[in-house]
Amino acid sequence: MQMKQVLLVGYRSDRKAILERLQRLGVMDIRSARREDEQVEGFLREDTRQQAASFERAAASLAQAVAVLNEIQPEKKGVLGMLNGRREIGMDRFEACAAEAGKQLEEAYGILALHKRKAECQGEIQRLTALLAQLEPWQTMDVPFSFTGTRRTAAFIGSFPSAGTEADWTAALAEKLPEGTPFQITVYSSSPEQSCVTVLCLRQDEQAVELALRGLAFAKPPLLSADLPTQAARERTEKQQALRDEITQIDAQLAEKTVLREALQETADYYTVRAEKYRMIGELWQTRHTFAAYGYVPAQDVPRLQRELCEKLPVLMDVQDADPAEAPVKLKNNGFTAPAASLTRMYALPGPDDIDPTPVMSFFYYLMFGMMFSDAGYGLLMVIACALALKFTRPEEGMRQNMKLFLYCGISTTIWGFLFGGFFGDAIAVISGNFFGRQITLQPLLLNPMKEPVTLLLMSFGIGMVQILVGLGCRFYNTWRHGDRWGAVFDTGFWMTMLIGLSILAIGMATSPVVLYIGAGIAIASAVGLVLTQGRKNKGVMKVVGGLASLYDSTGYLSDLMSYSRLMALGLTTGVLAQVFNMIGAMFGKGLVGALIMIPVFFIGHAINFGLNVLGTYVHTLRLQYVELFSKFYEGGGRPFEPFAFHSKYTRIKEENKS
């Protein structure tokens, strides 16, 4: 699409209004920033990064708050709703956000605070659960953990790291103490991990006993409170309950806030848009009273910019033709080719010397997709599904184009399906033969791939040859356009005539010797031409050697051609797999029982086949375009057109009138 280079100059006092309008129009790719390191005398830049960052933080907080609300109560979307894009809101609604932005941000902070408190409560509950598990083995103890003994006796409360009865531990401890030291051990619980005990002894033996206990790896209890273990456990259970109640309360509070979701989303978008505007202000060149914005506008949008901006606000606009090497790229497409533009974008945008390959590619994409999928039943399913989705949903632009892509591919698939006689494989023949006793076969309009695979293979090569020639034709046109006419004829033209000659030769082999000789003649003449011209940049003898060496390129064309055998192979895959599922379905005989089994087998089988093959077809058709077609003439490397516009996350802002 033709780009214009645009320079806007205005008063600084109008800066805000001008930028807002530019952003709303969304037609200008402002590139001042790309000249960052350039210093221009007398101009300065305003540092707006802080403001921009603070708006971004606000947008992020609002987005988090929305995420919290979504966790509490997910947004309701139906099956079709999934396809819908962002919600549409009017410009007036969007502008109203400004007035309430502060209030909504407070709400968002409130929601986030509640969410944080909830997380704290959950953490505390977990900690208490762990503690309760530790208290569990102590529940039968009738003294508090802090009990250390009376005036005459000393008490040790704690645990041994293994299982054992009172007798076991008494024996173990007595072994470590001087003979005859009196003590008593009470075991409250015992498990392989630990035995919870109290050890009582006389005050005078306290140190000796403590030392002996340490030798047995005696450990302190989980907490040292003045409460009885039962009391301690009860208190903590109560506390847990209180925390649980608090969480329920918070959830209820958050659930009440879900009515704010849409307002929060809109405010988040408001801040995002504002942050972008401020970042843009930082990139503009400014003097004390004026500012300048420099960038690119698609030629077709220039009048609109003129009308909407220059006539309404005091701003000077200077429009020049853009240098194609510098200008960003926006693909221009009509309704037929636009769906395939995303496929071109996935490869690379056209570079400065390229022609846009989308029109050529889209035609071949639809054609080859249909040929590989080649089943009228599947094709009709695609057409119906995409047509319904397009009619009843409001998808984002990218999604809408994908739906259209599959709609067109579906139409092509249906046509090829009838040409090859495939309708859910051979479903018509199987069902009619099995249940109605009279086999009705859907006759292929062109040929039956199972019966005549070789014809189909030759047809695939034929289509491949056409695509290769079209690719070379594009290269011819492009080289010619750039002034290298001899190069176009020598490097591309001779190869084209060579391939045409070889094709005629191949046809001649099957038909008449006259055609064969004509083809051979053209091919030989082209080969001579190649040998004579391809070494023209070399010197002396190398001229001929270079020319002969160039004939080696024909192996490249041969392998390109072989690659088109996938048109036949994938077509057969779809057909054979469909037949297999039909056969399995029909295996259970006639009558009601047979039908009852056949229906689910049929549905599941064809769903699997559809899924597997639609994916394979998509990928392999794409490969043929990228490797076999694009390699002939397309370089890529363009920079995408990224206008200064509303890049909102939740809503699409709709202009009330497009005038």
Partner 1 sequence: MTIGAAFTLAGAGLAMFAGIGSAKGVGMACEAGTGVLTEDPSKFGKLLVLELLPGTQGLYGFIVAFLIMIQSGVMNGGLGTISTETGLQYLAASVAIGIVGLFSAIAQGRAAVASIAMIAKKPGEFGKGLVSTTLVEIYALLSFLISLLCVINI
Contact residues: partner 1, CB under 8 A? 346-348, 453-454, 457, 559, 562-563, 565-566, 568-569, 572-573, 576-577, 580, 583, 612, 615-616, 618-620, 622-623, 626-627
Q: For residue 654, give the 3-state DSSP assignment.
A: strand
* DSSP characters over 42-82: T-B----HHHHHHHHHHHHHHHHHHHHHHHHSPPP--TTGG
Neighbour-count burial of 659, counting CB atoms closer than 10 A to its CB (0-12 exposed, 13-18 middle, 19+ buried):
exposed
DSSP letter at 289 equals S
Q: Toward partner 1, which CB reaches closer, 445 or 576? A: 576
Minimum Å gap between C-beta 111 and partner 1 is: 25
Tokens (6 digits) for 623: 């490969």
Minimum Å gap between C-beta 456 and partner 1 is: 11
| C-beta pairs of 530-539 under 8 Å, 24+ apart in sequence | 530/490, 530/494, 530/495, 530/498, 533/490, 533/491, 533/494, 534/490, 534/491, 536/490
Element at 594 (helix H, strand E) = helix 591-623
Cα gap 205→184, rounded to integer Å: 12
Rounded to the nearest 5 degrees, what angle is found at the Cα of 559, between the Cα atoms of 553 and 561? 110
Q: Toward partner 1, which CB reaches closer, 109 or 347? A: 347
Minimum Å gap between C-beta 139 and partner 1 is: 42
Q: Toward partner 1, which CB reaches closer, 566 or 606? A: 566
DSSP letter at 439 equals -
* DSSP characters over 306-357: IIIIITTS-EEEEEEEPPTTTS-B-----TTTHHHHHHHHHH----TTPPP-
Q: Toward partner 1, which CB reaches closer, 270 or 581? A: 581
Q: Toward partner 1, which CB reaches closer, 348 or 500? A: 348
Minimum Å gap between C-beta 573 and partner 1 is: 5
DSSP letter at 433 equals H
Provide the residue type at 41 as one letter: E
Minimum Å gap between C-beta 499 and partner 1 is: 20
Query: Strands 3-11, 285-286: parallel, antiparallel or unpaired by DSSP?
Result: unpaired
Cα distance from N-terminal residue to C-terminal residue, the chain? 22
Q: Which residue matches tokens 């979701």?
A: 261
Q: Toward partner 1, which CB reaches closer, 535 or 605? A: 605
List, in sequence order, the alpha helices (H) in 74-164.
Answer: 91-135
Q: What is the dihedral of CA 166, 172, 175, 180, to 10 degrees?
A: -10
Q: Toward partner 1, which CB reaches closer, 533 or 574? A: 574
| Longest Cα separation, the chain | 128
List, in sequence order, the alpha helices (H) in 136-260.
Answer: 166-176, 206-215, 229-257
Cα gap 141→198, rounded to integer Å: 9
Minimum Å gap between C-beta 450 and partner 1 is: 8
Q: Toward partner 1, which CB reaches closer, 347 or 588? A: 347
Neighbour-count burial of 103, counting CB atoms closer than 10 A to its CB (0-12 exposed, 13-18 middle, 19+ buried):
exposed
Minimum Å gap between C-beta 570 and partner 1 is: 8
Q: Toward partner 1, which CB reaches closer, 245 or 642? A: 642
Under 8 Å between Cβ of 321 and 296: no
Under 8 Å between Cβ of 28 and 296: yes
* DSSP characters over 164-185: --HHHHHHHHHHHS-TT--EEE
Q: Which residue matches tokens 């391939």?
A: 499
Minimum Å gap between C-beta 601 and partner 1 is: 17
Q: Toward partner 1, which CB reaches closer, 543 or 620? A: 620
Cα gap 195→218, rounded to integer Å: 10
Query: Strands 651-654, 87-90: parallel, antiparallel or unpaired by DSSP?
Result: parallel
Q: Toward partner 1, which CB reaches closer, 18 or 578? A: 578
> Considering only CA atoms, which of 184, 187, 185, 173 is closest in space to residue 141?
187
Cα gap 84→395, rounded to integer Å: 4
Minimum Å gap between C-beta 568 and partner 1 is: 8
Minimum Å gap between C-beta 262 and partner 1 is: 23
Q: Toward partner 1, which CB reaches closer, 8 or 586? A: 586
Minimum Å gap between C-beta 67 and partner 1 is: 15
Minimum Å gap between C-beta 81 and partner 1 is: 18
Minimum Å gap between C-beta 186 and partner 1 is: 51
Minimum Å gap between C-beta 34 and partner 1 is: 20
Neighbour-count burial of 628, counting CB atoms closer than 10 A to its CB (0-12 exposed, 13-18 middle, 19+ buried):
buried
Minimum Å gap between C-beta 619 and partner 1 is: 6
Under 8 Å between Cβ of 393 and 87: no
Q: Which residues contact 253 (CB under 8 A, 6 or more apart)?
A: 114
Q: Toward partner 1, which CB reaches closer, 129 or 559? A: 559
Minimum Å gap between C-beta 422 and partner 1 is: 15
